[in-house]
A and B are shown apart, each in its own frame.
Chain A
């Protein structure tokens, strides 16, 4: 059974870099044709796709965040990671990791992690 768990600091200072990791169990990141994605949700607001890593290693980012975001993979640990630079209060959100098959829907989600940007 595929499971995901986000981890990382819950508090980041403005202008610094937000770094999160998603640990995957129940499947291999580079073994199945999924887009391993990051999605965020500011408090009380809707969902925003941040970016995805295809199992082959290609990455895709939301154009509105592309200049600040990167997603990488550590296949030895079966983890993929998100980095978002130069954060502001507007980046305060619950961050979720989730895989999507090529049809693009998300059948499984991590529990989410709240990251607050504040000094």
Chain B
């Protein structure tokens, strides 16, 4: 099974900050890495698919990059509505998939 790690596990940031979250996989997943945002009590929301493609309707301040085993999600200018938990997901082994443990973005 593909193991996932995310760093940091949590971070505190201010509105307007640039935020970067890292996801690493235990083996290559090519570009089959996706990012989700989850707010309390809500289902996850797809932000980025296949490493760098912005899902329709997602603000352009979100971007993704990486390949193989190392991926990043960047929020270029953090907005109040971006405080949430972010998960990466590998879909290289589709239909099986694995999610990262999550990164909680909190207000400084």
Interface set of A (CB-CB < 8 Å, partner B): 35, 37, 46-49, 52, 54, 60, 62-63, 96, 98, 100, 102-107, 109-112
Partner of B91, one of A47, A48, A104, A110: A104
Number of interface residues of B (CB under 8 A): 24
Interface set of B (CB-CB < 8 Å, partner A): 1, 32, 34, 36, 43-46, 49-50, 55, 87, 89, 91-92, 94-102
Partner of B94, one of A35, A48, A98, A109: A35
Whether A47 and B99, one on each chain, are in contact in the complex, defined by CB atoms closer than 8 angstroms, is: yes
Chain A interface mostly helix, strand, loop or mixed?
loop
A46-B100, A48-B99, A63-B1 given; A105·B91 CB < 8 A: yes
Partner of B97, one of A104, A107, A110: A104
Whether B44 and A60, one on each chain, are in contact in the complex, defined by CB atoms closer than 8 angstroms, is: no
